Chains A and B, each alone.
Chain A
Amino acid sequence: MSTFDSARLIAMFEAVATRIETEKDHLCALDGHIGDADHGIAMAQGFNAVRAAVTDLDPGAVAPSDVFNTAAKAFLNAVGASSGPLYATAYMRAGAALKGKEVATEDDMAQAFQAMAQGIEDRGKAVVGEKTMVDAWRPSADALAEAREGGASLAIALQAASTAAAKGAEATADMIAGKGRSSRLGERARGHVDPGAASAAIIIEVMAESLSGAGGPGAP
């Protein structure tokens, strides 16, 4: 049974920031089809701010909930836009789920993951099928819950979550948008993967990798 301290969560955010930076151009290109081609820039800006903020924390002196709350604030103030409030809400909810814990257990992390998905749905008021990041987050959270109920370790459950997120993002290509700026495009949005869902799948994949490992390089 793994446990998760602040150092591991900081390492997780660093890993997400690194990966998003390499996917920046890809995400911009996706956005160019149905939006204004800046999704990669905004996400990279947001997670670089997160990286700067969380690596400033002293992992020995802050609780896991502080790491999430710091990430939320940094992301929100760097980005604004729609992804700002959505991810900020996700991380604040995760922070609330971990409140008062020095070290998070596998159960705690599973709950934090559910809280993130729920936070994004609550803030954006989108549901599955509207070609948004919810199409990656909702099936991902459901897959995680199902795996945990079946007795799977968090690492296995996160793997299932990651697979479901990728599948969910892929499925947005067949949808027309119900929310966000691309919703005005009608049929013209069909055939393109939603960039918000694509970045969500990447974030979930990196979270799964980072939290399944033996501990990140971020621990000093």
Chain B
Amino acid sequence: MAKAVNGKGGTTQSIPLRYGDDPYVWACWLYYEDQLTQGEIAETMGISRATVNAYLAEARERGIVNITIDPERLSALTIAQELKRHFGLDDCLVIPSDGGAHPLIERLGTAGARVLNQTVRSADTIAVAWGRTVMAVAERARRGDLQDVSVIQATGGTTATFEYTPEACAACLSAALNARCVNLTAPALVSSAEVRDLLLQEPVVAGQLAALARANRLLFGISSLRPNSTIHTSGFFDSVATQLYLEKNAVGVIAGRFIDDHGRPVSGPLDERTIGITLDGFEGIETKIAVVGGIDKVAAILGALRGGYIDVLVTDAATGRGILKADGVAELDRKLAPQRGPEAGVVNVRSAVKKFVNKPVDVIEEMLDGIVHAHERYLRPIDGHRRALVAQRGPREGKVGLVIGGGSGHEPCFLGYVGKGMADAAAIGNIFSAPPPDPISQCAKAASGGKGVLFVYGNYTGDIMNFQMAADLAKAEGIEVRTVITTDDIASSPVEDREGRRGVAGNFFTFKIAGAACDRMWPLEACEAVTSKTNRRTYTVGVALEPCSLPQTRTHNFEIGPDEMEIGIGIHGEPGVARDRLRPADEVVDAVMDRIFSEMQAGSGDRVAVLVNSLGATPLMELYILYRRVRQRLEAKCIAVHASWTGHYCTSLDMAGASITVLHLDDQLAELLDHPCDTAFLSIK
């Protein structure tokens, strides 16, 4: 093999004749047939590794290389995708048909164990039901590296002699996971409701059931009510009673409870005599894993899916297809039909921004869970709803309530400013999306001290609509609401259209002054007036260096060239209003300050407050460099800095960039700015 000369002045090796004149084919051959690494290929071809990478990627795009997936596996994958989409599952694993080489139960057990191994985390409490399939999973699961895992029996016990009793399933799984095993030391089925009630009062049983209520995972199988199903053959239920459920259209049993074809609970004589998890108890469990297969169970599985009892489904291809057909998914056959052309089975490789995320759909709830614990000194959820947070020491009789809010992604806005002397409550929306009216009106109610409530939020169409609807709801409850919409971003619209400007980091000052006015027990009109004045005297311009990315997409939501920056960027990563070449820090500050000075009528001897704010990824080091120049520019005009803040105060996820805000103080505003407050992110003594 000829060696290429690399490095500066190196020559690209001429292409061996057999590859024609196509370097893509050559690169692909070396990679896929000769199995060289990309580094070795680079050396062989006399090109850079990056070029090899680009060749390989483009070869896939152009169809020079087709990566195909075994049709049985592809079909299973298609059914899994369709099940996940159609029933809104967190995930779905469908095992391909293997032509009957191994028993279905064993294969389901292996697949279920793989899902469980991936799902279970340290400190989990796993409730486990019973049955042949559950046992098959327990026998194959293995995670020894976790700490503080508990496995708890989801139903009471039995004296039956079969090998997959509730006790045996729990014991086997706890051994596999190196977990503490909590048995439910009561029978699954007792002779009467009175006996059940007595047993439930026993402290030991009550403690075990309390532990069950704390479970965050559930592993269960599903039984059909066909004559040969486990439910009948195990002798677990007496057949007379089962008949009564069948007459009421029950189609299946999950963890000892009967459901119909829409997943609705079917009541009957056994309900009052059953000890174990209830169907209502399913609701609070974060991950409910059902491992189940067999065409005879399609109706039962469909019922469980429709009832929302399953988050993760493990099944086989034939059963999966049966479920989708039974629910009228017509396009499945078309999707399963072999496709022609390069797109069939092609695996697309794309890069994604790295994030600390579990499941993208859970980011808001998990963030809020963290917030309410991290800042419990300052705030708490209203009636358990974490999208409406109220200050621990804020609302009080006779005080105007201050309610703020907006989309997530701007942390520490808005939650960081909830506390004594600042906001009484904050409503939190999805990422970059206004909160719905419900949590806002909950905030209004919680913040109300009988003297009215002030809403302060940024000028966005969605926020305005939702806050207005919430104001209507509050008014219907007899709460007077006034609103100040912030419009401090002076780059977002010309001065003639002040009302059209968006509200950005200047919110920090507006919230502070509004909170101080409310805390001083000013009447609603006065609070509104001074808040409005603050907004009019607050000037912000943002500059982005790199775009941000949403946890759900993990792709940049716009692009900025390598030598560019975006001036007038909003806090939602909306493209700014102008693009400029990247300039030194001082020049950037000068451009921003020139713009602010052109609007702010501040003269020598005036006082201002300054906020140099990171949009997310920009570190304090750079913010201080910016602040240094801001200070120089203000001093040159003999404008005094009364107070300043530098840091993360109103961000835009992971955007690199900063905003500069100047609040033009007067005596009244300076006094209110100095008024004490105590919140998670701003404390003035």
Enumerate chain A residues within 8 angstroms of B465, measured Cβ to Cβ: 82, 84-86, 123-124
B574-A38 in contact (CB<8A): no
Chain A residues lying within 8 Å of B330, measured Cβ to Cβ, are 217
User: Which residues, 418 to 476 on B, are CB-close (under 8 Å) to A?
Assistant: 429-438, 460-462, 465-466, 469
- Let me know if B466 and A84 touch, CB within 8 A: yes
B461 and A35 contact, CB distance less than 8 A: no
- Bound Cα distance A22, B407 (Å): 25
CB of A80 within 8 Å of the partner chain: yes
Interface residues of A in 171-214 (CB under 8 A from B): 179-186, 188
Instruction: Decide if B430 touches A32 in the complex (CB within 8 Å).
Output: no
Question: Chain B: interface residue count, which band?
Answer: 35 or more
How distant is A9 from chain B, measured CB to nearest CB, in Å? 16
**With an 8 A cutoff between CB atoms, is B85 at the interface?**
yes
A76 partner, pick from B327, B430, B437, B572, beta carbons under 8 A: B437
Bound-complex Cα distance A70 to B436 (A)? 15
Tell me the bound Cα distance from A77 to B469 in angstroms.
12
Q: Across the two chains, which residue of chain B brings its CB closest to A17?
A: B88
A119: shortest Cβ distance to chain B, in Å? 12
Residue B319 CB within 8 A of the other chain:
no
Contacts of A77 in B (CB 8 A): 436, 438
Residues of chain B lying within 8 A (CB to CB) of residue A185: 574-575, 577
- A220, CB-defined interface residue at 8 Å: yes
B 527-560 binary contact with A (CB < 8 Å = 1; else 0) = 0000000000000000000000010110101100
Q: From A37, which residue of chain B is reached at the shortest CB distance?
A: B557
Contact of A81 among B262, B429, B550, B575 (CB under 8 A): B429
Which of the four size classes fits the interface of chain A?
35 or more
| A–B pairs, 22, beta carbons within 8 Å | A36-B574, A37-B553, A38-B432, A38-B552, A38-B557, A52-B88, A52-B308, A76-B436, A76-B437, A80-B429, A80-B435, A81-B429, A81-B462, A81-B466, A82-B460, A84-B434, A84-B462, A85-B437, A85-B465, A86-B465, A124-B465, A184-B574
- Chain A residues in 8 Å Cβ range of B6: none
In angstroms, Cα B502 to Cα A42, docked, is: 21
Any A CB within 8 A of the CB of B328:
yes
- Contact between chains at B436 and A182 (CB < 8 Å): no
By the criterion CB–CB under 8 Å, are B436 and A217 in contact? Answer: no
B110 at the A/B interface (Cβ < 8 Å)?
Answer: no
A73 to chain B, nearest CB (A): 9
Q: Is A79 an interface residue (CB 8 A)?
A: yes
> Using Cβ atoms and an 8 Å threshold, which residues of chain A touch B466?
80-81, 84-85
Residues of B at under 8 Å CB distance from A? Answer: 85-86, 88, 261-262, 306, 308, 327-328, 330, 407, 429-438, 460-462, 465-466, 469, 492-493, 500, 502, 550, 552-553, 555, 557-558, 570, 572-575, 577
Chain A residue nearest to B552 in the complex (CB)? A41
By the criterion CB–CB under 8 Å, are B436 and A36 in contact? no
Please give, as numbers and ranges, the residues of chain B lying within 8 Å of A42 by CB-CB distance. 430, 433
Question: Which A residues touch B262, using CB under 8 A?
Answer: 220
Question: If A41-B552, A79-B430 touch, does A124 touch B461 (CB 8 Å cutoff)?
Answer: yes
Q: Is the CB of A179 within 8 A of B461?
A: yes
**Is the Cβ of A36 less than 8 Å from the Cβ of B502?**
no
- State in angstroms the CA–CA spacing of A161 and B26 once bound together: 54
B570 and A181 within 8 A (CB): yes
Select A184's contact among B328, B436, B469, B493, beta carbons within 8 Å.
Answer: B493
Q: Find residues 26-45 in chain A having any chain B CB closer than 8 Å to their own CB.
A: 28, 32, 34-38, 41-42, 45
Q: Which residues of B contact A218 (CB under 8 A)?
A: 328
Contacts of A21 in B (CB 8 A): 85
How many Å lie between the Cα of A123 and that of B472 in the bound state? 13
Interface residues of A in 47-84 (CB under 8 A from B): 48, 51-52, 55, 76-84
Whether A18 is near chain B, meaning CB under 8 Å from some CB there, is yes
A52: chain B residues within 8 A (beta carbon): 88, 308
Q: Known A37-B553, A38-B552, A184-B570; judge A80-B462 contact (CB<8 A).
A: yes
Residues of A within 8 A of B438 (CB): 76-77
Name the B residues within 8 Å of A123 (CB-CB): 465
**Residues A38 and B550 in contact in the complex (CB < 8 Å), given A52-B88, A80-B433, A81-B462:** yes
B100 nearest CB across to chain A (Å): 32
Which of A42, A81, A82, A185 is most buried by chain B, counting CB atoms within 10 A of its CB?
Answer: A81
